[in-house]
Amino acid sequence: MPKGLTETTIDIPLGGSKDQGGGLNQGVDNLLVQPPYLAELVNGDLLIDGSVKRRYPANELPDDGISTRAHQNMNSVFNHDSTALVVNTNLGPHVYTPGTGWSDTGEFGQPPCRVQDQRAVPVKTWYADSAVSNGYIAYVTCEVAGAAMQTYFTAYEYGTGALACPKTLVTGLPVGDVGFNPKIIAHPTTGLFHVAFMSHNDNATTLRLNCYSAANFPAATIVNTASYTGGTDQHELALGATGYFYVVSAMAAHTLEARLVDEATYVTAGSQTVAGVGGSDGLGAWYNATATRLYVAAFDRTIDATAAKTVHFLGDLSTQTAGSDFTLLPSVYADVGYAGFVASFAYSGNSDGQMLMVLSTICYYDVPGLSAGPPAYQAEGALGQHGCTQAFVVSTTLSSVSTLKPAWNYYLSTRLWNPSASNAARPLFGLLRLNTAAHQSSGGATADTFFYEQWQSLQTTMLVCSYGVHAVADPEAYLRNLSVVARCHDNAAANPQAYQIDVSAYPFTSTPLYHSRLAGVSVVVAGGVSFARATYTSFSVRDVEQPPTSLYDHVFQGLQGTYGQLTQTAFEWTCAPCSKDSAQRLSVVSAGYEGYFDGMGSFENTPHSYPEVVDRPFQLAEPTDVDVQIPFYFEATDITGGVVDTDYAATNNLNVVFVWAWVDAYGNLHRSAPSSRHNSNGMRGITRTNGVYTIDMYVTDLPLSAIPATAEQRYLEVYVSGDVSVDPTMRLAVTLPYEPWSAGATPRDTERPWLLHVVPTLNELDIDGMSPYASAQMLYTEGDVLESLPPPAFLDTVATKDRLWGINAGSLYFTKPLEAGVAPEFNDNLSIPVFTGSGPNVALSVIDEKVIVFKQGSIFVVTGDGPNATGGGNAFPVPQSVSTDVGCVSTASVVRGPFGVVFQGLYGIYLLDRGLNLSWIGKPVINDVTIGMRLTGVLVPQQSHVRWILDSTGRMVVWNYEQNQWSIYEGLTEKHGVPYSTGWVGLLDGVELTDESICYFTQERPTAPDEVSNYVESTMPLSFTTAWIKTAGIQGFVRVKRALLLGTVGTFPSFFDANNGLEVVVQYNYRDDTSSTYTWTDVDSTDRPQHEMHLQYQKCESLRFLVREVPAAGALTCPGASFSGISLRVGTKGVPFKYFPQSQVR
Amino acid sequence: MATLTLSELQTRVRQRADLALSDQFIPTSELTIYINLALSKMWDLALENDGQSFIPYTDVPFTAPTTAPNLYALPGVYKVLSVQLWDSVAGGVRRPIFPAMETQIPGLMSQQASANITFGAMYRLSGGFGLASTAGLQLQLFPPPLTNTVLYVRCVPPAPVLVNDTTPVMFPNGWEEFVVLEAAIKCIGKEDGDTRELRRQRDEMAESIRTASSSLDRGSPERVQDVVYGLVDYPWGNGGW
C-alpha cells in the first residue's frame, strides 16, 4: 500500500517586526524557503503585525470657501504649525483650519513656483525665442555687436541642460548685413529648428529662413535655407500639420503674405496674399489643428489705427477668409496711439476649436524733436497708460465669443497652457509688465539705444522689458521662455541701482475678477552675478475706462544693487511642497523667494529693499533732469511760521535712520535693513521750531511682497542720534503706523505715490543730554550686529542649530542665531560657498546636528556652531564630503525622518542614514522611479511612510521605513498630500463622486472592521506579489501541493459583497506565462471559508503569488482584507529538514 | 438504488479528494475521466461473476455475416453472454453454439458443410483491442452459415462514458461509492498523496460488489450450466432417455 509523500506545512509570513520574528525575510527558515520579499505591493501597507492590508480609505474634507479657480489650480499642501493646512495653488495659498474650515480670504501670498533651472544666453536686446524638439531646446537671441545687432543660435539638451550647440552666429544675409527679430519654431520630434529673421540693414527687405538640424549638433550647420524678398516689416512662424510650417509676413507695402513651407525642402506648398490687413506694426499667427486652419491677427496703423484685423485660411492656404476686426482700447490720453502689437493664440479649452486670442499693444506718441526719426515708443507719463493687453475667446471664424478684461500697462501676451492643471482646458496667458514710471527712449539711430524702454531711476526699481518673446509650456509642464529678455539701462555707472522685471502668468477664466502673479523669477545677469527674486504683486484689474489712479495696484518691486541683462529663465510648476521646515513657528517657504507663512498670510523673509528717501517731487516736465539722490538730502523749510531754532542752524547735527518693521501673527518682529544714515547738515527736510523737530520727507514704500495685508502692527521706525541726544547710538525716536493700502492710509506724494510722505515730529528734544532718547531702544544693528538683508532665492530651507539655513545653486546661507521674538534674519556675510563637488547645489537637509548639502553629484555635511550675530566667533568649517558619486536630483524629494534622510538620486531613492552611511534603498522601485523624474517626497509618520509622488495621476511610491517595504499607491488622483492630524491628507483634483459632488480633499484614517461605506469612491484595490519562492530549496521536496492565503480574508462579514472579489494568480518556474488563476467572488465565498489554491504545477522549481482585490463594480466598498501570510502544503520524501550538515550524514 | 448524475459524482469526488470547484490541479475534464474510469472498473466488477448480472444485456441478431463467409462484427459489444443459431428469422428452431478450440477450427471448416441448427457449428471471438482501424470485437462462425440461418448474439455493452453533467447513472445499493473512491484515489494519487484509507474503503466496496453481483436472484441460486442440454434437435437430451 503506497504511503504517499510526507506532507509538511510551511507558513510564510508576509511581514512582521523583527522582534516578532516576522517579515518575509525574518520569520522563515531559509532552509525551507528562500526569503520571498514582497516583490510588489500596490495600494497596501505592511503593518507592524505582519499583515498586508489595503491602504487606508479616505474621507472627504469640507472645502467650502475655496474659489473655483483655486480648485482648478491647487497643486501642493503643507502643514503649518500643526494647526492648519495650507494649500498652495498657482494663485497663492489657501488655509484650512479645524473648526473654521477653509479660509475665504482667497488669494494672497506667493504661489508655489519653484525655480527650476536657469541658463545664461547673453542677450543684449529684446529679441529672443526658443523651441523644443527631439530632446533639445534651441534659442535664437540677439546681441549688440558694435554698432549693430547680431542673431545667434544656441541649443541645449533639453533634459540635462548640457550645451548641445554653442552660440553660433546666424548667417545668410548679404555680407555686411546682420539679422534681427529672430523667431524659431520646430515640430516636437523632427529635430529641425526653423529660424526666421530679418535684415538689419534694410530692416524690411529680406526675410531669411534657416534650418538647423539637431543631427548635426554641436555644429550649427544650415541644412536648408530660403529668402523671401519684397520688404518685410514683421513676421511670425506657426507650426502646421506634420512636415509643414507657416511663415506669415507683413510686407512693407502693407499687404500680408502667408506661406506654407515644407520643412524638409523649404518649398512653398501654398501661399496667400491678403490686402487690407497689413501687420506692419505687429502680427500673430497660429495653426489651429482642431479647425485645420491658420489664424492671423495683425495691426497696421496705416490701414486702421484703432483696430486689429484678422484673417484665417484653410490649412493648405487655398482660401482666405476675413475675420472680425477687434477694436483696440482707446488711449486715455490725446495724441497717443498704438504702434507695437503682438497677437497670440491658444486653445480656449473648448473642444469645438474655440481659441483664446490675446492682443497686446503698446502706445506711442511722437516726442518733439524726434518726430523725424522712427516712432518713439513712449510712455505717457508717470501715471500714464502705456500698453494694454486684451484677451478674447474667439470662434473658428474669428468672431468674438467673449471678451476678457484687459490689463493695462502690460504688453506681450504669451501662448501657453496652465501646466499644473490636469485639465488641458486651462490656458494661461502671460504678460510682461511694461512701465511703472517715467522713461527715456529713442529711436535706435545709435548703438545701444534701440527700441527698448529705458527707465531712469525715479524709484529704486525700474523696468526695461521687451517684446518679441513668447512663453510656451513644454510637454513636461515647464514654462520655457517665459518672458524675459530685458535690460536695465545703458549706464551702469550712473545708475547702479536696479531694474525691475515682472513676469506674470494668468489663469484663463471667463470672468477674471483677480489677477495674481507669478513669483520666482530667477535671473542670470552679465558677469556671472546671479540673483533670484520673486516679482510679486496682487491686484485687481481695473475697469477698462479707468486709467490707473495709483501705481500701487501694479507696482512690482525689483532688486536693488544688481545690474545686468536678464537672459532666460525657466519655471517649475510641478507639484512641490513649499515648506519643509519652520522657525519661530513660521513656516518657511522656498519658492522663488524665501518667505514665511504665519497662519494669516505669506510674505517675503526680509524686505528686498530698505527705506530710502527722495527729497523732492518728481519733475515730469524735465525728463532729462531726473534727479536721483541717494542718499537724499533734506530741504530745510520753515513751514510752520514759527521761530527757527538757532541751535539747529548752529549744530546742524541730526542723524536719522528709517527701518520698516512689523509684527507677525506669532509676535515675531520683522525688520528691514536700516536706511542709510542721514545727517541733517546742509539738508533740507527738517524744521526745528521751538525745540521741536519736524521732519518732512519722502520715503520709498515697503515692498508689497514683504508684508501680509493682514498684519495689524506695521511701522516705519525712525531712529535718531546727534543733536537730540548726547548718546551717539541710533535710538528709536518715533514709530509711525504704516497703512499702505486702505483709504486714509499713510500719506503719499501725489505725483509719486510709490513714496510715503513722512512727517514725524520729534518732541521735547533735549540737546543737553537729558533726552528721553538716551534710554530708548537702540537700532538693532548697533554693536556691529549684522543687518537683516534679504537672502537670494533658495531652492531649499531647513532649520537647525538655532538657525535657519537656505541654499541656492552655489552657496549655503544661514541666519544669525535665532532670537526670541525676532524673525530669522539673513545677511550676505553669513554664507558658505560650496566650491567642490559636481553640479550645482540641489537640496538641503538635516541629520541630528549636521546640515546636509546635496549637490547633483555629491553630498556634503556641515558641522560646528558658527558665528554670532555680528558675524564674529567661530566660523563654520568647510563642508566635508560624504559622497562623491551620488547626489540629489530633486529638491522636493528630500525627506528626513528617524531613519536619516532619503532622497532621489540619479538612479532612484537613496538613504543617508544617521551614521552618514549611504545606501540605495530604491532598487525595488527602480522601474517606477525612472531617470528624468522629479519626485516630491512627504513623511507620513502616522504610518511610518515616506511617500514620493510620481506623476499627476496621483501614483506614488511608498516606503514603509519600519518594515523596509515598498509599495505603490494609485487609483486616487492625489496631486500632493501632507500628514495632518490623524493621517495623510490628500489633495485631489476634483474626483467626482457618485452623488455628483466633487471631492477635492481627503483624509486617510484607519478603518473599523465592519465599516462598509463612506469612502472616497475611487478604486484603490490592494494587490501584492511575492518574490519567487524557491521550492528547490526545500530538502526532499517533491511537490508543493496547496497554498492557503492566511489572514482575515473571509471573516469580514461583508468582504464579499457585490463590489469585492479576490483573485490570486500563481506563477511557476520563474515564468510569468505559466500561471494558474484562482478567483473568489461573493458566490464562492458562501462555501469557501478559506482561500486555498490547489496548485496546478506542483513539481515546480519556484512559484510566486499575485494577490489582488477585484473591484467588481468599479469600487471597493469595504475596508478590505488583511493578509498575514501564505501557508504551503508541501509533499516531501522524508523529513524536510536538514538536521545535520551534509558532510556529517552517515 | 441511487441515481446520480455526472455532476453529482464530481461533487462527491471533490469532497473525497478535497478539490475546489474549479480546481487547477485536477480540472473538471480530468475529473470526469477519472469517474468514467472508475465506472468501467466497477462495470468489470459487476461482470466478474457468472450468472444473472446487474449489467443489462442486449441481443444482436445477424441474418448474414458482416463479412463473408463467416465474420460477424460486434463493435458495441464488451462481452458476449451467449451465441445461438436460428433456422430462420422467426427462430423456429434455435440452437446454442459454443466456442471452438483453435484446434477444432480446421476440422469444422473442412467438412464442406454449412452451419445450421442441425450441424454442430461453433464460433470464436476476437478483437476489441488494438488500433481503432482493426475494428472492435468480432465473431467467426465455423463452418460458414447457410442462407437464412440467423446468428443471434446476447452480449453486454462496455461501461457507459459520462459526458453530460446531467446524465443520470443508476447504482444499486450504494455502489456509487466505489466510483467516488476510485476516482478520488486517482486524484490524490496524482500528487503522490496518501491514499491508503481510500483504497481500503474502495476494496471493501469492491468486495461487496463482487459478492452482491454473484447472487442477483437470491431465490434461485445459480446452477452448473449443462452445455449439452440446449441442443435443439434433441431437447430432451442428447441420446438419453
Span B130-165, pLDDT tens digits:
887 777 899 999 999 988 899 999 999 999 999 999
Cell of A233: 516689416
Across the range B28-33, mean pLDDT stands at: 95
Cell of A98: 479645524
Question: Dihedral, CA atoms, A505, A511, A514, A520, nearest 10 degrees?
Answer: -10
| A225-229, A763-767, A831-835, A893-897 — most confident range | A893-897
- Interface contacts A/B by beta carbons within 8 Å: 52
Residue A610 or B31, more confident: B31
Cell of A683: 539738508
Query: Cβ-count burial of B238 within 10 angstroms (0-12 exposed, 13-18 middle, 19+ buried)?
Result: exposed
CA distance B160 to chain A (A): 29
* Rg of chain A taking only CA atoms, in angstroms: 34
| A-chain residues near B20 (CB < 8 A) | 1078, 1088, 1092-1094
Using CB atoms, pick whichever of A1078, A1092, A1098 lies closest to residue B191: A1098
Do residues A137 and A161 touch, judged by C-beta distance below 8 A?
no
Q: Does A1041 touch chain B (CB under 8 A)?
A: yes
A12 residue type, one letter:
I
For the stretch A866-897, pLDDT in tens is 999 999 988 999 899 999 989 998 888 899 99
With a cut of 70, say whether residue B105 has pLDDT above it: yes
Q: What is the pLDDT of residue A974?
A: 78
Nearest Cα neighbor of A535 from A923, A113, A1072, A198 is A113
Do residues A466 and A486 touch, judged by C-beta distance below 8 A?
yes
Query: Cβ-count burial of A292 within 10 angstroms (0-12 exposed, 13-18 middle, 19+ buried)?
Result: middle
With a cut of 80, say whether residue A794 has pLDDT above it: no
CA distances from A237 to A301, A393, A781 (A): 22, 22, 57
Judge: B20–A1094 Cβ closer than 8 Å, yes or no.
yes
Judge: B24–A1093 Cβ closer than 8 Å, yes or no.
yes
Identify the sign of the CA torsion A936, A937, A940, A944. Answer: positive
Q: What is the pLDDT of residue A212?
A: 96
Complex ipTM more than 0.90, yes or no = no
- Nearest chain A Cα to B20, which residue? A1094
CA distance A157 to chain B (A): 54
For the stretch A260-301, pLDDT in tens is 999 999 999 999 999 999 888 888 898 887 789 999 999 998
Nearest Cα neighbor of A251 from A280, A282, A215 is A280
Across the range A356-371, mean pLDDT stands at: 56
Q: What is the pLDDT of residue A490?
A: 30
- Nearest chain B Cα to A1, which residue? B196
- Chain B residues whose C-beta sits inside 8 Å of any chain A C-beta: 19-26, 188-189, 191-196, 199
Cell of B137: 470485437
Q: Does A1039 touch chain B (CB under 8 A)?
A: yes
- Nearest chain A Cα to B21, which residue? A1084
Nearest Cα neighbor of A1035 from A3, A26, A6, A2 is A6
**How many Å apart are CA A735 and CA A732, to the nearest integer?**
8
**How many Å apart are CA A356 and CA A366, to the nearest integer?**
33
Judge: B195–A1096 Cβ closer than 8 Å, yes or no.
no
**How many Å apart are CA A727 and CA A371, to the nearest integer?**
60
Q: Taking the CA of residue B6 as centre, how many other CA atoms within 13 Å lie in the half-sphere pointing to its CB?
A: 18
CA distance A1084 to chain B (A): 9
With a cut of 50, say whether residue A422 has pLDDT above it: no
A326 residue type, one letter:
F
- At residue A785 the predicted structure's pLDDT band, cuts being 50, 70 and 90, is very high
Query: Cβ-count burial of A970 within 10 angstroms (0-12 exposed, 13-18 middle, 19+ buried)?
Result: buried
| A154-163, A593-602, B119-128 — most confident range | B119-128
- Nearest chain A Cα to B188, which residue? A4
Angle between helices B6-17 and B28-47 (to 10 degrees): 100
Do residues A194 and A186 touch, judged by C-beta distance below 8 A?
yes
CA distance A959 to chain B (A): 35
CB atoms < 10 A from the CB of A666, how many? 15
Going by DSSP bridges, is the β-strand pair A222-229/A232-239 parallel, antiparallel, or unpaired?
unpaired
- At residue B185 the predicted structure's pLDDT band, cuts being 50, 70 and 90, is very high
With a cut of 70, say whether residue A1098 has pLDDT above it: yes
* Residues pairing with A731 in the sheet: A720, A778
3-state helix/strand/coil string of A259-304: EEEECCCCCEEEEEEECCCCCCCEEEEEEECCCCEEEEEEECCCCC
With a cut of 50, say whether residue B121 has pLDDT above it: yes
Identify the sign of the CA torsion B135, B138, B142, B147. Answer: negative
| A268-272, A950-954, A1088-1092 — most confident range | A268-272
Q: What is the pLDDT of residue A692?
A: 67
Q: Does A914 touch chain B (CB under 8 A)?
A: no
Whole-prediction pTM value?
0.64
Across the range A792-813, mean pLDDT stands at: 83
CA distances from A536 to A539, A592, A608, B44 (A): 10, 10, 11, 98
Across the range A946-975, mean pLDDT stands at: 85
With a cut of 70, say whether residue A122 has pLDDT above it: no
Nearest Cα neighbor of A438 from A379, A497, A363 is A379
CA distances from A503 to A430, A523, A766, A1104 (A): 7, 12, 51, 56
Residue for cell digits 520524501? A1133
Please spell the DSSP secondary structure of chain B, one letter per residue: -EEEEHHHHHHHHHHHHT--TT-SSS-HHHHHHHHHHHHHHHHHHHHSS-SS-SSPPEEEEESS-SBTTTEEEETT-SEEEEEEEESSTT-SSEEEEEEPPGGGHHHHHTT---B-TTTT-EEEEE-SSS-GGG-SEEEEEESPBPTT-EEEEEEEPPPP---STT-EEEESTTTHHHHHHHHHHHHHHHTT---HHHHHHHHHHHHHHHHHHT-S-TTS------TTTT-SSSTT-SS--
Cell of A951: 506623476
Angle between helices B176-190 and B6-17 (to 10 degrees): 50
- At residue B44 the predicted structure's pLDDT band, cuts being 50, 70 and 90, is very high
CA distance B179 to chain A (A): 19
Cell of A138: 534651441
Distance of CA B197 to the CA centre of its chain: 30
Q: Does A7 touch chain B (CB under 8 A)?
A: yes
Q: Does A1146 touch chain B (CB under 8 A)?
A: no
| B-chain residues near A1092 (CB < 8 A) | 20
Judge: B25–A1078 Cβ closer than 8 Å, yes or no.
no
CA distance B17 to chain A (A): 11
**How many Å apart are CA A727 and CA A730, to the nearest integer?**
8
Q: What is the DSSP letter of A159?
A: T
Judge: A1095–B193 Cβ closer than 8 Å, yes or no.
no
Do residues A135 and A214 touch, judged by C-beta distance below 8 A?
yes
**How many Å apart are CA A82 and CA A980, to the nearest integer?**
7
